[in-house]
Amino acid sequence: GAGVSQSPSNKVTEKGKDVELRCDPISGHTALYWYRQSLGQGLEFLIYFQGNSAPDKSGLPSDRFSAERTGGSVSTLTIQRTQQEDSAVYLCASRVAGLAGQETQYFGPGTRLLVL
Amino acid sequence: AQKVTQAQTEISVVEKEDVTLDCVYETRDTTYYLFWYKQPPSGELVFLIRRNSFDEQYEISGRYSWNFQKSTSSFNFTITASQVVDSAVYFCALTTSGSARQLTFGSGTQLTVLP
């Protein structure tokens, strides 16, 4: 079946602009995660969704970052007033939740964000 | 808090050699899950191995093996008869039994397999 998809693949924006990144999880996966990969910080957790709820937003670096998920499927990560330090690869992952043995997260190809 | 350490930054081997990547983890939880992921130049994180801490269950995708030692908190990963296509960055990761189960990653090991 189809894997996790993300769009756009690449995004170049100017400092101060808002950007939206999209994630389509694997069908039937109720848990969805956003991570960020940057040169200085490695792979960092941003936010977790279970269904449409986000019980863990502890990784969001500032209030300029927000995310939502609708219909228990597609998620959008929004970065407002982008800064150069937001430049990174944003990765989305999903997994089946609530079943024993279904702990593996499957990742999308990522969105490479460059803030000029 | 959890921590994952991959001390090897870069490794180079010649094709067909076996190669072992090291991973040491820290957690206070007794129920946790350990993973290896591969990141080729294309950028996507590809799942390779999952091992549960509390039973013998595991999940594996490919010609790999592991050495899990609770006593030393290590979860080493071996590629047998490496191939050039195995060249990638390999990440060790940990999650615990909390509801979110977000992954904590190591810093990665760049593996280069030379022809």
pLDDT in tens, A11-56: 999 999 999 999 999 999 999 999 999 987 789 999 999 989 988 8
**pLDDT score for B22:** 98
Residues A11/A19, Cβ–Cβ less than 8 Å: yes
Contacts of B5 in chain A (CB under 8 A): none
Q: How far is CA B105 from the centre of its chain?
A: 9
Q: Rounded to the nearest 10 degrees, how much is the dihedral formed by the CA atoms of A5, B87, A96, A67?
A: -50
Question: Chain A partners of B47 at a C-beta cutoff of 8 Å?
Answer: 104-107
Over range A71-100, report the average pLDDT. Answer: 92
Please say if the pLDDT value at position A1 is more than 60: no
Distance CA B98, CA B100 (A): 6
Mean pLDDT across chain B: 92
Reply yes or no on whether the pLDDT at A93 is more than 60.
yes
pLDDT value, residue A92: 97
Find the CB nearest A45 among B37, B44, B102: B102
Taking 50 as the pLDDT cut, the residues of chain B under it are none
What was the pLDDT predicted at B99?
Answer: 67
Angle made by CA atoms B75, A92, B100, in degrees to the nearest 5: 65
C-beta atoms of A45 and B91 within 8 A: no
| Window A:40-79, CB contacts with B under 8 Å | 42-43, 45, 48, 50, 55-56, 59
| Tokens of residue A44, six digits | 């960092």
Q: How far apart are the first and last CA of chain B?
A: 41
Share of chain A above pLDDT 70, in %: 95
- Tell me if B43 and A45 make a contact (CB, 8 A cut-off): no
CB–CB of B91/B24 below 8 Å?
no
**For residues A87 and B103, what is the distance between their CA atoms, to the nearest angstrom?**
21
